[in-house]
Amino acid sequence: MPSQSNTKLVSHIDCPGGGQVWIEGTTLYVGHMRPTSGTTIIDVSDPRKPNTLTKIDVREGWHSHKVRVSGDIMIVNQEKFGKSGRTDIGGGIDIYDVSNPATPKLITEWRTIGGGVHRFDFDGRYAYISPTVEGYIGNIVMILDLADPAKPVEVGRWWIPGQWEAGGEEYPWANWTSPRCHHPLRVGNRLYVSYWHHGFFILDIEDMSKPKLVSHANTSPTFPHPTHTCLVMPNLLKGRKVMVVADEDVAKLRPSAPAFAWTYDITQESSPVPISTFQVPGLDKDGSPQPPMTGCHQPSERFAGSIVPFAWFAQGLRLVDYADPFAPKEVGHYVPAAAPGADRASSNDVTIDNRGLIYLVDRVNGVDIIEASAVG
């Protein structure tokens, strides 16, 4: 049975499991986890009666589990799925015209070699992506200009020194995990980039052709979870500039307690300082190891005020108030029932619309539309 506080289920959308949800107006876009399901587009103008408009399939061996929309342009990723994809085909991003969401039109395919693109950001003009690139080890940071969506143009790239194998850079991580750009997010003239077990990097992109390192921090290997997302709060909190950093409860360096979220003071951005953490109350009783996907995953990249919705894997939706960034607190939650064939929930991503409705996607099956009194 679902568990909830200060939340109410509005409706459930029965669809394949998803990696990301994004809302534009009253149109919901769901990027699916497993091929050949690619992207589903759903009309949620009446949230109690969602209406599926169309579905886009993806080729076998690849998945399009991430989706972002701005205006009339939709971008989905193309990434190798597990060990099944042929890397000679090439991953990347697909760009669509969704001026009529019911009939999306493919504009172009941007391709790279290797595993393709994982997470990305898109502001309507520029896409900030995490591709595998010829000559580099692991995923790097890349900025594409989509002024003409039919002809994406690379305007800048950045990587950790040592990744550029073709450039003869010395590789210093023979006894460590390979670098992997996971997720760039833009705020102003900065990119806040999660880099998996190599922590996070703040980049100055005033000149997009030459991103510059501002600062770096890493909690691995002391904490064994990879850095997943760096979310800058839109307003000062207690006079401080604050960034929430979510670790992901997968790919652990060793058996451990569930992953959690950090709070960093980046007022002096050259020296990020952790000032608090948040864990779901009662989840980590004694620090003992628990199975992967028990703890933290992904905060909503869209929200208002100081309350951040999180997709917390088996713990469902968690609403965390950062009004006091030194002591974040939970103000509501919704844990869905396990999807058919699963033994527990697996909430993977969450977003919120301008009506205050929350959309929570499960990795295995379905999207829940949720009302929350805390953010209403």
Q: What's the pLDDT tens digit per position in 224-259?
A: 999 999 999 999 999 999 999 999 999 999 999 999
- Cβ atoms within 10 Å, residue 60: 12
Of 348, 371, 356, the residue nearest 16 (C-alpha): 348
Query: What residues have CB less than 8 Å from 96, skipping those under 6 apart?
Result: 56, 73, 74, 75, 76, 104, 105, 106, 107
Is pLDDT above 90 for 84? no
What's the pLDDT score for residue 376? 57
Query: What residues have CB less than 8 Å from 159, skipping those under 6 apart?
Result: 136, 140, 141, 179, 181
Of 29, 18, 15, the residue nearest 63 (C-alpha): 18
Q: What are the DSSP calls for 48-84, one per residue?
A: TS-EEEEEEE--TTEE---EEEETTEEEEEEEE-TT-
Separation of alpha carbons 357 and 373, rounded Å: 10
pLDDT tier, 374 (very low <50, low <70, confident <90, very high otherwise): confident
Is pLDDT above 80 for 87? no
Work out the percent of the chain whose per-residue pLDDT is above 70: 98
Burial class of residue 26 in the structure, from the number of CB atoms within 10 Å of its CB (0-12 exposed, 13-18 middle, 19+ buried):
middle
What's the pLDDT score for residue 266? 98
Structural domain of 140: 3-372
Is pLDDT above 80 for 349? yes
Separation of alpha carbons 306 and 362, rounded Å: 25
Tokens of 184: 């760039």
What's the pLDDT score for residue 90? 79
pLDDT, tens digit, 9 for 90 and up, residues 288-317 = 999 999 999 999 999 989 999 999 999 999
pLDDT tier, 159 (very low <50, low <70, confident <90, very high otherwise): very high
Separation of alpha carbons 243 and 198, rounded Å: 17
Span 151-179, average pLDDT: 96
What's the pLDDT score for residue 375? 75
3-state secondary structure of 286: coil
pLDDT, tens digit, 9 for 90 and up, residues 256-288 = 999 999 999 999 999 999 999 999 999 999 999
Q: How many domains are contained in the chain?
A: 1
Beta strands in 178-222 (DSSP E): 183-187, 190-194, 200-204, 212-217
Chain mean pLDDT for the chain: 96
pLDDT, tens digit, 9 for 90 and up, residues 31-83 = 999 999 999 999 999 999 999 999 999 998 999 999 999 999 999 999 999 86
| Phi, psi angles (nearest 5°) of residue 228 | -105, -50
> Angle at Cα 338 formed by Cα 337 and Cα 342, nearest 5°?
170
pLDDT, tens digit, 9 for 90 and up, residues 208-218 = 999 999 999 99
CATH number, position 134 = 2.130.10.10
